[in-house]
Structure 1
Amino acid sequence: MGAAVLLLAGCGEPATPKGKDSGKPASAPTPTGSGPSMPGLIGKTSAEAGALVAPVLPKPVEARSAYDDVPLAADHGQWTVCFQTPAAGTPVAGDTSVEISLVAPGIQCPAAAGASLHPPKGSSPAKTPVPSADPGHPKPKQPKSSPTPAPGPRDVHYKNCTEAKAAGAAPIRRGEPGYGKHLDRDGDGIACDK
C-alpha cells in the first residue's frame, strides 16, 4: 500500500526549479481596476468638476447649459452639474471627452438635459406619464380642458437695479423673468447681484 502511494505521488508533474520556465503559459493576472475611472461630478460646481477631472484626463471638460433656452454664462464656475458623460465610475482613457450639463445657482436641474426652463406661451410643460396598474392594459388618455394661462411674469422689465431690488426680484439670473443685459454690468449672468 505504501508503494502505491509513492507511485501515485510521483505521477504528478515535476516541480520547476526557481527561475526556470515550465513551458506552460502563465495565467493572466486578474485585472485590479488600476486604470483611472470617471469621478462623480453631479451636484458639484463646474469649477469643482474641472478640478476633479484634471488629474484623471488631460482634455478640458466641455460644459453646456442643461436647459435649451438658457444660455451658458461665460463665467459658469459656480453653476451646478446636473448631468455628466461618461457616468461616474466608468473606466476612462486619456482621449475620453467629458461633457457636463449645468444650471445656474438657485435653478433646479431638469428631468433630462435639453429641456426648456421657460416653455413658449401656449404650450404646457411635458408631463411624465403615470404608469397604469396593469402594464398590459394602459389607461386610455382622457382629454383635459385647461384654463387659458394667465400672462406670466416673463414680460417683466426693470429700468435699473434699484427698481428690481424694490420689487424683491434681485438678484436676477439669465433666463429668469426681468433679466436684462443692461442690469448685468459685469456680464456674469446674474443681474443686480452687487
Structure 2
Amino acid sequence: MVVVPPPPAPGWPPVSTTSSLAPVITATAQWLTRAYPASGGALQRALAEAQAHQAATVAAWLRYPTRMDAELAALTGARGSGALDWAAGADDGLPLPGPSDGAHDADPPAPAEDAEAWRTWVDEAVASWAACLLARPDLASAAVDAVAGTEHAGAVPVGFRRLTSPTEGDTAAAALLRHPDLLEPVARLHRDGLLER
C-alpha cells in the first residue's frame, strides 16, 4: 500500500520576511567586524561575527519592522559604508579627522573607488543602531523585546543570547566591537532614531 502524503498547507514553507534584509544584515555585520576586528584566532573571530550578526539583525528588524518596509529597503538600496568608514576611521584612505581641523563640520570625503561590492549593501542606520546595541546590553535586551512582535520574529526562530547576555568569552573576543568609546562615532549617527523606537 502506497501512502500519499497530504498536500502542503497553504503558506508552507513559510516565507521569511527577512529575506529582503539578508544582504543588508550580512554586509552590515561584515562591516562591523572589519571596523572593530576580533582579537585572537578563529574561535574569537567566530564569536565576534556572531555578535555582530545578531546586533545587525535586531537593528535591521527594528529599522524595517514589516515585510513591506523590508521590500522597500531592498528596492531603494542601502546608503553604503562611505560615511561609516569616515566616522570610524575604518578605511585606510579615509582617516578620522582630528578635532582641531574643523573637518567634522564638513561632509565626509567621497570614498575612493572600491572593488568590494558588498559595501554598497551596508545600511548606515542599521550599523549605527547595531553599534548602540553592542555597546549597551541593556539596550540590546529592550530592542530584542521590541522586535519579538514583528513579522520577522514570527518567520525566523532565532535567539540573541550572545548580544543580550554575552559570556566572558564573547566579551573578550569582541573587545573592540563592544567598546563604547570606540563605537561612539558610529553609534551617535542615528542613536536618536533608535531611542525613539
Could you say which TM-score interval applies, normalised by the shorter chain?
A: under 0.3
**If the length of structure 2 is used for normalisation, what is the TM-score?**
0.20
Structure (1/2) with the larger strand percentage? 1
The structure with higher relative contact order (CA 8 Å, sep 6+) is 2
Structure (1/2) with the larger helix percentage? 2
